[in-house]
């Protein structure tokens, strides 16, 4: 355990976040997402929600330039409550968020450095964050 580190940030997760380079992506996935099928590196955090994990990761990971995050477009195109929570947790808004069609999102996610699979059960509760330059402008 480390002081000042969010308890959701396990040693394994911190190791992978540290190894990420500028513009590398991390997908924070809901429980329905095919993380193990798409990702080479997967960290499981059962019992967590995607907004909570995004908020924890943002305490140590600055975002790359726009778009701040990628979210999966819902079936009806509406921005869902979980997606509003994800944007708030990431410190972004609709103007700095890119919405990606479901199957195109899988293609984008396939290139991510890391997948973090949560226990989130709300549909479309996935976020892709790109790592910015550490120390450039803070988190």
The CATH code of the domain that includes 48 is 3.40.1650.10
What's the mean pLDDT in 43-50? 98
Contact between 63 and 130 under an 8 Å Cβ cutoff? The reply is yes
- The vertex-37 CA angle with 32 and 43, nearest 5°, equals 70
For residue 137, being part of any structural domain is answered with no
What's the mean pLDDT in 52-74? 94
The CA distance from 34 to 18, in Å, is 24
| Res 44 pLDDT > 80 | yes
For residue 95, being part of any structural domain is answered with yes
Residue 48's domain comprises 22-130
Contact between 62 and 132 under an 8 Å Cβ cutoff? The reply is yes
For residue 118, being part of any structural domain is answered with yes
Contact between 71 and 31 under an 8 Å Cβ cutoff? The reply is no
For residue 30, being part of any structural domain is answered with yes
Give residue 139's pLDDT.
52
For residue 16, being part of any structural domain is answered with no
Total of domains in the chain: 1
The CA distance from 29 to 127, in Å, is 7
- Scan for tokens 């995607």, then name that residue: 50
The CA distance from 60 to 70, in Å, is 19
Give residue 2's pLDDT band: very low, low, confident or very high (50, 70, 90).
confident
| Catalytic annotation, residues | 22
Please provide residue 45's backbone torsions phi and psi, each rounded to the nearest 5 degrees: -125, 70
Mean pLDDT, rounded, of the chain: 94
Give residue 137's pLDDT band: very low, low, confident or very high (50, 70, 90).
low
pTM of the full structure: 0.94
Give residue 34's pLDDT.
98
Give residue 8's pLDDT.
97
Give residue 136's pLDDT.
61
What's the mean pLDDT in 3-31? 96
For residue 52, being part of any structural domain is answered with yes
């Amino acid at each position: 355990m480390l002081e000042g580190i969010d308890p959701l940030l396990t040693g394994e997760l911190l190791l992978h976040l540290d190894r990420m380079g500028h513009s590398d992506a991390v997908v924070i996935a809901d429980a329905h997402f095919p993380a193990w099928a798409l990702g080479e590196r997967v960290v499981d955090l059962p019992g967590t929600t995607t907004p909570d994990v995004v908020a924890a990761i943002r305490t140590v990971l600055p975002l790359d330039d726009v778009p701040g995050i990628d979210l999966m477009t819902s079936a009806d195109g509406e921005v869902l409550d979980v997606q509003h929570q994800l944007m708030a947790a990431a410190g972004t808004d609709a103007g700095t968020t890119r919405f990606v069609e479901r199957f195109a999102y899988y293609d984008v996610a396939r290139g991510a450095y890391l997948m973090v699979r949560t226990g989130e059960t709300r549909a479309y509760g996935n976020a892709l964050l790109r790592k910015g330059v550490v120390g450039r402008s803070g988190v």
